[in-house]
Amino acid sequence: MPHEVIMPALGMAQDTGKIVSWLKSAGDAVKAGDALFEVETDKATMEVESPADGYLTDVQADAGADVPVGNVIALVSDTAEDSGSAAQAPVDAGGSDDASLPDGKAVIMPALGMAQDTGVIVAWHKGLGDAVAAGDILFEVETDKATMEVEAGTDGFVAALLAEADEAAPVGDTIAIISPEKPANPVQRSIADGGAAKPAATPDPAPKAKGEPKSSPKKAPKAQAFTSADGRILASPKARRLALEQGLDLNRLVEAGHPQPFHVADIEVLSTMPAQTAGQTAAPPRRLTADLPTDGSCAFTEWATENTDLQDANAILAGLAAASLGRDTAIIAVESFEQSRAYTVPAGPFSAITKAEDDSAPDLILRDLRLSRVSTVDLGEEDAPVLTLTRTNSGLTITLECAGHHLAASAAVTLLSEFAGRMEQPLRHLL
């Protein structure tokens, strides 16, 4: 089945991209990751890679052409012959009846990768009519590889929202409009109902007849705070970083009943909350240690690299740490002597572990100092919980450090206990 090569969006204010040059010719054999062409916008020039192995076919645009974001410009096919299936009409900006949309700057669904056709809107951070600045977070988008916060890209007011949370929008489609003036009739649409406009404001009720009893207003239900089963506080990487930089405790949002996961807008709320009294002390940083008489991981890693396809010792460490964290999937960063490598670790065998994207925010940092002279660490909290390995005379010391809002006390104890057990007896990971 052919794989589409689309014009990527390098920014929210980008409508088109110019093909600077083709680095491969039609009919050439290509590998996944090979650079196919260079694309230029007003802000950047980048190489676009092939999404799969195959042959470059059905090239739809020459060097120097401006192509709308999201348009298919070539295929990577199983054979070198053109299929004729890549022709594509210009992308429709946001659905039917465009004449009914307010004037303003279009916000498109960005492409986070070449193999991405759609993006799922996780949540809108701004509502209809809200004032926004160019750097404000407008929404969160999720693909099969990443979740990212998308900025408004321009100052103004939210005049139209053309998709709802949890809906998948095609890459390059207009999903919002930001107008320079506050809109008189903002538009709300849903992809599920074909883009039909929804009323943005409730019409005034008809006058009541005399003697008709007045209905008492119903209070909106209070949002329920959600906490993960393992005691973690759920928050985006940027929200965690801002909270740490500003010395804010995410536990206060939990106690106040704010629903999780927390985002940048919640950090703004947290920063304006009244100062804590003496009886409302923020959760202190956590530091726990475990001493092991023996380090069984070295012999296990040596055996695995000699007798199996597992050749990356750091990936094995990441697998042991992720299993101790108890999640379906976790990003584990393994550090050693100023070198760091992140891994995506799903629940299951070591063979399922893959290298994570370079900019992936880790759920856990594993710092391996066993080959150094450092014997004790007390470095304080970081952006994610940190497990540090240090040598003792005959065994191993494991230190867990994290902020109070990273892990509940019980979750921290469980993480360290589980990881210590796996480092002492790695075979338990296989049971």
Alpha-carbon distance 211 to 218, whole Å? 21
Alpha-carbon distance 326 to 316, whole Å? 16
> What pLDDT does residue 193 have?
63
- Token readout for 360 is 């992936």
Q: Is 147 helix (H, G, I), strand (E, B) or coil?
A: strand
The DSSP-derived string for 316-348 is HHHHHHHHHHT-SEEEEEEEETTEEEEEEEESS
Helix (H) or strand (E) holding 287: strand 286-292
Backbone angles phi, psi at 252, to 5 degrees: -65, -35
Contact present, 56 and 79 (Cβ < 8 Å) = no
For the entire predicted model, the pTM comes to 0.41
Q: Is 296 exposed, middle or buried (0-12, 13-18, 19+ CB in 10 A)?
A: middle
Query: Would you identify the CATH topology of the domain 98-198?
Result: OB fold (Dihydrolipoamide Acetyltransferase, E2P) (2.40.50)
Q: Is 172 exposed, middle or buried (0-12, 13-18, 19+ CB in 10 A)?
A: buried
Contact present, 285 and 403 (Cβ < 8 Å) = yes
pLDDT in tens for each of the 431 residues of the chain? Answer: 688 888 876 655 567 788 888 999 999 999 988 889 888 766 567 778 888 889 999 999 888 888 887 788 889 898 988 766 555 434 333 344 466 788 888 888 876 655 556 788 888 999 999 999 988 889 888 765 567 778 888 899 999 999 988 888 887 778 889 999 999 888 888 887 655 344 344 344 444 443 444 444 433 333 344 444 445 677 666 677 788 878 888 888 888 888 877 777 788 888 888 866 544 556 688 999 999 998 988 889 888 888 888 889 999 999 999 999 888 899 999 998 778 899 999 988 888 999 998 778 899 999 999 988 888 899 888 889 999 999 988 789 999 999 888 888 888 999 999 999 999 988 866 65
CATH number of 3-77: 2.40.50.100
> What pLDDT does residue 266 have?
84
CATH number for 286-430 (one of 1.10.10.10, 3.30.210.10, 1.10.3210.10, 3.30.559.10): it is 3.30.559.10
Q: Does the fold of domain 98-198 match that of domain 3-77? A: yes
Domain boundaries, the chain: 3-77, 98-198, 237-279, 286-430
- Token readout for 72 is 């298919």
Rg (CA), the chain: 26
> What pLDDT does residue 108 have?
82
